[in-house]
Structure 1
Amino acid sequence: ELSSLHGGVLGGALRSGKLKIGDEIEIKPGYSVKRQNKIIYQTVKTKIVSLQKGNHKITEALPGGSLAIETELDPSLTKSDSLSGCICSTPGTLPEITESIKIKFSLFDSFYTDEKEEKVSALKASEPLMLSVNTSTTIGLVTKIKNDEAEIALKIPVVPLKGDSIGIARNVKNHWRLIGFGEII
C-alpha cells in the first residue's frame, strides 16, 4: 500500500541547533555523479518526515545522542550508507564543498606496527595521507607544509567546518597507521 512507503533515513548526531518535522534540510557533499569522466558531488535538499531517538518517535530534536531522520528522499539514495560522511543542516548555512583543506596538526612521537614501535617522521610534500573528518574518510596529498600547518588536496571532497577535529594516518607497509591529529583552520 502507498501508506506503508517510507523515505530514506539518515542517521547521526545533532551537534547544534534543533530539527523538527517539516523542516527543509540540505545534505553535503551529497551523492556522487560521473560527468564527462569526472566525479562531482550533488548537494541534496529534502524535508524531514519523522524523527526518532532510540525507540521513541519525537517531533523536535536537540543536540545529544543518536538520531534517525526520515526524509522525503528516495530510499535508494540512502541505502548502503551511500550518504555516509555527509553533513545536513538548514539550507544555506554550510560552507561550500571543497577538495582542499588547511589544517593545524600535531604528530605523535611514535606508532606501533605488528612488529615494533616506530618513530613518526615529519609530513612531506606530495605524501598521501588518510584523513578522518567528522564521519568522512578521504585520501589527500600534502601540497604545502609550514611549521604545524599543512594544505592537503583531497580525493573525496568534504564540507570543512572550521575547528573540526581530524585524524591523520600514514600508509606504512600497506597498512594505514594513525600518526597524528589536527583541526581544520
Structure 2
Amino acid sequence: IFLVARSFDINRPGTKIENLKGGVLGGVLKKGKLKIGDEIEIKPGLSLKKSNNQSYQTLNTKILSLHKGMKSVKDVEPGVSISIETSLDPFLTKADSLTSCLVSTKNNLPEITYNLKVKYKLFDEVLGTSEHQKIEALKIKEMLMLNVNTTITVGVVEKIDKDKKEIELTLNIPVVALKKDNVGIARNLDRHWRLIGWGEIIQ
C-alpha cells in the first residue's frame, strides 16, 4: 500500500513525444513491496465531474521506474519516501491531481466508500488552542473533518454508540477504507478545525 502525497508531470515544455516520461507519484510505501514492472491500481483515482455529479475512476497502470531521492532502485520496502514513474499520461498526474490516492498491486484495494464506521477516542481538551477547552460529546448530524491516510474528508455523524465508542459517518469525499487504519478527528470550533480525537476504522 503506497500513500500518494504528490503527483506531477516531470516533462519540460517542448519535450519530444518519444522522450516523454510517464506520470510520477510521490509518497510513502506503508506496507508490502513494489518493484519495477508491477501492474498497479490507483484509487479513488481520477475525479470526474458531470453536471453536479462527482464520480471517480480507478486508474490501472504499470511501474516504469522507482526512485529513492535521486537514486534509481529496482524495488522498495515499507517506510521509505519514494517516487514512482508510471505509464500514465503525465496530464493525469500534473499539479497534484492524484494526491490523497492509494496505490497497490492490482485487485488488492477495496472499493471506495462514502460511509465509515469508526471506533473513536476523544481527547480531554481541544488541541491547538491557548485555552483549556473541554471537548463535548459527539452529536448526531454533526460535521467532522477526518484525516484518513493522506485523504482529508468531511463526514456527517449518522449513528453513535456511546457504550462501544463507535460512530458511523457519511462522507463528502470518498476514501479507500482499510480496517484498523487510524483516523484523525477534528471539529469546527470558532471557524477553525481543531483536533479533538482519533479513531480506528472498523468498517
TM-score (ref. length: structure 2): 0.87
Gap change, CA 1:146 and 1:24, over 3 Å in 2: same
The residue matched to 1:64 in structure 2 has which SS? Answer: coil
The 2-side partners of 1:31 and 1:124 are apart by 33
Matched positions, count: 185
The question of 1:101 aligning with 2:95 is answered no
The 1-side partners of 2:201 and 2:155 are apart by 14
* Counterpart residue identity of residue 24, structure 1: E
Deviation at 1:115, TM superposition (A): 5.4
CA RMSD of aligned residues (A): 1.3
Percent identity, aligned pairs only? 56
131, 135, 144: which one pairs with 1:120? 135
What residue in structure 2 maps to residue 50 of structure 1? 65
What residue in structure 2 maps to residue 181 of structure 1? 198
Aligned counterparts, 1:30-179, within 5 A = 30-112=45-127, 114=129, 116-147=131-162, 148-179=165-196
* Counterpart residue identity of residue 29, structure 1: P
The residue matched to 2:133 in structure 1 has which SS? Answer: strand
* Counterpart residue identity of residue 179, structure 1: I
What residue in structure 2 maps to residue 10 of structure 1? 25
* Counterpart residue identity of residue 142, structure 1: V
Moved over 2 A (4+): 1-4, 112-115
Deviation at 1:32, TM superposition (A): 1.0
The residue matched to 1:76 in structure 2 has which SS? Answer: helix
The residue matched to 1:80 in structure 2 has which SS? Answer: helix
Deviation at 1:34, TM superposition (A): 1.5
Deviation at 1:137, TM superposition (A): 0.2
The 2-side partners of 1:74 and 1:24 are apart by 15
In structure 2, list runs of 5 or more residues that go unmatched.
1-15
The 1-side partners of 2:198 and 2:129 are apart by 22
Deviation string 1:112-135 (CA, Å, 9 cap, x unpaired) is 565522110010000000000000
Deviation at 1:36, TM superposition (A): 4.8
| Of 61-70 and 167-176, the range deviating more from structure 2 | 61-70
In structure 1, list runs of 5 or more residues that go unmatched.
none
